Amino acid sequence: MQNESLTDWKILPLTDEDIDAVLAIEEDSFPKPWSRNIFTKELMNPVSYSLAGWLTRDTDDQLAAYIFFWIVHGEAHILNLTVRRDFRSMGLSKRILGFSLNFMREKGVEDIFLEVRRSNEAAIALYESFGFRVFYERKKYYVDEDALVMGLTLSQWNG
């Protein structure tokens, strides 16, 4: 998969029609995945934004990544960023995160926060590559693990 071209990569708002594909990715990616109900509520939440990264393979558009985040009073909170297992290590997480940070900047966001599993070294490295830093550890944030709370001030990001 790593040799696949990203020329046919596009990012679009996520819709109700995408939920089945999102659920399949979520259930394959996490021991405690979000439910259909959570995704549906996020799509209806007025402060929630959701974007889907699509990759064209042959003639078929496939949902390869998604991100959910809130924007409230100049702050953003990244809730979920996931890449489909067979599309990982292709740089898709960097693309959708970079697109999202630019979107947030256009919406007047200054500060961004997120929680990430302490053991998720790939995600931590991704966020650090964008300038996020660890603020503190949140004990037992996940049922089975602690979280690192990370943040970024957008004015310090050069994207």
Which of the residues are catalytic? 115, 127
Do the Cβ atoms of 145 and 118 come closer than 8 Å? yes
Residue 60: count other Cβ atoms within 10 Å of its Cβ: 7
Considering only CA atoms, which of 69, 49, 148, 151 is closest in space to residue 110?
151
Beta bridge partners of 152: 112
- Tokens 């994207």 correspond to 159
Give Cα 17 to chain centroid, integer Å.
19
Measured CA to CA, the distance from residue 155 to residue 149 in angstroms comes to 19
